[in-house]
Amino acid sequence: MKAIIRTGDGGPEVLKLGEIPAPTPGPTQLLVNVKATALNRADTLQRQGFYPPPPGESDVLGLELAGIVEGMGDEVTGFNRGDRIFGLVGGGGYAEQAVIDYRMAMPIPDGWNFEQAAAVSEVFFTANETLFTLGGLGSGETVLIHAGGSGVGTAGTQMAHHAGARVLITAGSREKIEKSKKLGCTEGINYKEHDFAEEIMRLTDGEGVDVVQDFIGAPYLNRNLSILKPRGRLIIVGLMGGGTGEIDLGPILRKRLQIFGSVMRPLPLEEKIQITQRFVNRWLPLLREGKIKPMIDTVMPLSQAREAHEYMEANKNFGKIILSV
């Protein structure tokens, strides 16, 4: 089958379209003819050699997929050949065929195309687990979502707004801020022009926020803590700015703050199945009804994976970058 292969660790230029053996489904797995997949920051890290797949997972990039069931293992129930499904995988999405545990697979709602379905799993799962399962975000609270124009940011903004929270975001351009406001954010801060901590305190009349979702890491750590209200929660989802830094423990003690970390890829299968079910129960009905929706920035063919990675790393996208297979 055709797949995107890496010729080494490095920049987007190491990604090439090549031929590799097709996967064979295990007892609880579906074999899927992939029709669309999506980019995630984890893909760029793996490409550079920093984020290897968990044991037993494909070393082909791609953490989510949408496609058609081609075959299945002996223990699979509830699915048939020809079913349209989407879901989260540990690897292998950038290919013509991939495998997924049937308990992680979800039927694609009527009226959705494959590109829409491929834009959902990683970002909506992440937003739900960070903002709600860990962060406990509730109606009437205020949340700061960094990288508001990212896939997770656009999903989280809609979800938090629907849950009755006040949503503030950071982004790198006025255009992204204006687009975020259409999804439910109240105010946006251009981090290239303003200190986000100062702006947050101004926008909240000195009170701060209840929850911060952060992808940057060390450079933002102390400022994130400084803007949290008493009993506030910081959820660290990424380390794009680095993972090592000094921390002032005083605010954590005085304000009784909580700090959570979240990463899904290395989790045991059973935990991933629970994450899937939480999403299905709370958010999939709203997606089906169109009350919230995946934001797609652009769709490129699988053969242009290199260009897609360059586009993501230039921070040009608002929402998801999709690869059509």
Judgement on whether residues 136 and 79 belong to the same structural domain of the protein: no
Task: Say if residues 228 and 251 touch (Cβ distance below 8 Å).
Answer: yes
Judgement on whether residues 161 and 234 belong to the same structural domain of the protein: yes
Judgement on whether residues 42 and 172 belong to the same structural domain of the protein: no
Q: In this structure, what CATH number is given to the domain that contains residue 11?
A: 3.90.180.10
Judgement on whether residues 233 and 279 belong to the same structural domain of the protein: no
Per-residue pLDDT at 15: 98
Distance CA(317)–CA(169), nearest Å, equals 16
The pairing of beta strand 209-214 with beta strand 29-38: unpaired
Question: What letter does residue 279 receive in the DSSP assignment?
Answer: H
Last residue within a domain, chosen from 238, 261, 284 = 261
Q: In this structure, what CATH number is given to the domain that contains residue 180?
A: 3.40.50.720
Last residue within a domain, chosen from 261, 289, 315 = 261
Distance CA(44)–CA(51), nearest Å, equals 9
Judgement on whether residues 223 and 287 belong to the same structural domain of the protein: no
The pairing of beta strand 29-38 with beta strand 64-72: antiparallel
Report residue 305 as tokens: 């994976």
Distance CA(273)–CA(317), nearest Å, equals 29
Task: Indicate the SS3 state at residue 97.
Answer: strand
pLDDT tens, position by position, 114-146: 999 999 999 999 999 999 999 999 999 999 999
Per the rule left: phi > 0, alpha: psi between -120 and 50, beta: everything else, 147 is left
Judgement on whether residues 129 and 257 belong to the same structural domain of the protein: yes
Own/partner long-range contacts of 54-57 (Cβ < 8 Å, ≥24 apart): 54/90, 54/91, 54/265, 54/266, 56/90, 57/89, 57/90, 57/91, 57/92
Task: Indicate the SS3 state at residue 179.
Answer: helix
DSSP string, 65-111: EEEEEEEE-TT--S--TT-EEEEE-SS--SBSEEEEETTTEEEPPTT
Cα of 42 vs its chain's centroid, Å: 9
Judgement on whether residues 58 and 109 belong to the same structural domain of the protein: yes
Last residue within a domain, chosen from 261, 282, 309 = 261
Task: Indicate the SS3 state at residue 255.
Answer: helix
Judgement on whether residues 251 and 270 belong to the same structural domain of the protein: no
Judgement on whether residues 93 and 31 belong to the same structural domain of the protein: yes
- Mean pLDDT score of the chain: 97
Distance CA(126)–CA(267), nearest Å, equals 13
Report residue 76 as tokens: 């699979």
> What is the residue range of 294's domain?
2-120+265-324
Judgement on whether residues 139 and 240 belong to the same structural domain of the protein: yes
Distance CA(140)–CA(15), nearest Å, equals 45
- Total number of domains constituting the chain: 2
pTM of this prediction exceeds 0.85: yes
pLDDT by residue for the chain (325 residues), tens only, comes to 999 999 999 999 999 999 999 999 999 999 999 999 999 999 999 999 999 999 999 999 999 999 999 999 999 999 999 999 999 999 999 999 999 999 999 999 999 999 999 999 999 999 999 999 999 999 999 999 999 999 999 999 999 999 999 999 999 999 999 999 999 999 999 999 999 999 999 999 999 999 999 999 999 999 999 999 999 999 999 999 999 989 999 999 999 999 999 999 999 999 999 999 999 999 999 999 999 999 999 999 999 999 999 999 999 999 999 999 9
Distance CA(54)–CA(166), nearest Å, equals 37
Judgement on whether residues 257 and 155 belong to the same structural domain of the protein: yes
Judgement on whether residues 113 and 183 belong to the same structural domain of the protein: no
Report residue 117 as tokens: 């379905």
